[in-house]
């Protein structure tokens, strides 16, 4: 959000990708039916309500263990923690996915879960007085 990258930026992206695959939803859209939340906000809300079945895309046919999909959701949420130091390393993610790490830590609220209304209110209040009008430039639009 602040343009700072770390060795855990790839972990965050991986977590978003895992949640996109499991939910069948894109992180780039707001979901009006769910209160204009981002994918992370939507998953976090259902996680807190213990409604994990609603996260899973209906197109997924899980013939194996349902617990494996729930574990992937849990790992995805661990990967999208706001603070990079709270995210696992990719080596730990691999260990978690292969069940070498049995007990997963409880995820905290992920980054970027503002809904559209909160985002617009926050953006408007933060940018007040930080813009200027340009009355000097003239733009001429013409073909080449």
CATH number of the domain where residue 49 is located:
1.10.510.10
* Residue among 44, 13, 40 at smallest CA distance from 29: 40
Q: Quickly tell me which residue has 């209040």 as its tokens.
A: 125
Q: What is the pLDDT of residue 116?
A: 45
In a domain, 2, yes or no: no
Does the pLDDT value for residue 121 go beyond 60? no
With beta carbons less than 8 A apart as the criterion, state whether 44 and 77 touch.
yes
User: Does 22 or 29 have the greater pLDDT score?
Assistant: 22
* Residue among 92, 79, 68 at smallest CA distance from 44: 79
In a domain, 24, yes or no: yes
In a domain, 3, yes or no: no
**120 lies in which domain range?**
9-127
User: Does 38 or 79 have the greater pLDDT score?
Assistant: 79
In a domain, 47, yes or no: yes
Of 58-67, 88-97, 115-124, where does mean pLDDT reach its minimum? 115-124
Centre a 10 Å sphere on the Cβ of residue 81 and count the other Cβ atoms it contains. Answer: 21
In a domain, 90, yes or no: yes
Q: What is the pLDDT of residues 27-58, one digit of tens each?
A: 876 655 556 578 998 899 999 999 998 999 98
Q: How far apart are CA 99 and CA 30, in angstroms?
A: 33
Counted domains in the chain: 1
């Amino acid at each position: 959000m602040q343009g700072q990258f770390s060795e855990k930026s790839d972990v965050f992206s991986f977590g978003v990708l895992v949640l996109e695959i499991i939910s069948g939803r894109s992180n780039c859209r707001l979901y009006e039916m769910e209160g204009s939340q981002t994918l992370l906000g939507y998953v976090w809300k259902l996680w807190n309500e213990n409604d994990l079945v609603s996260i899973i895309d209906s197109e997924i046919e899980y013939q194996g263990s349902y617990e494996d999909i729930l574990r992937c959701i849990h790992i995805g949420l661990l990967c999208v923690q706001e603070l990079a130091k709270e995210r696992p390393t990719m080596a730990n993610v691999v260990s978690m996915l292969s069940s070498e790490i049995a007990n997963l830590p409880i995820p905290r609220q992920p980054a970027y879960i503002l809904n559209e209304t909160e985002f617009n209110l926050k953006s408007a209040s933060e940018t007040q007085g930080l813009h200027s009008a340009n009355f000097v430039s003239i733009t001429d639009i013409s073909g080449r």
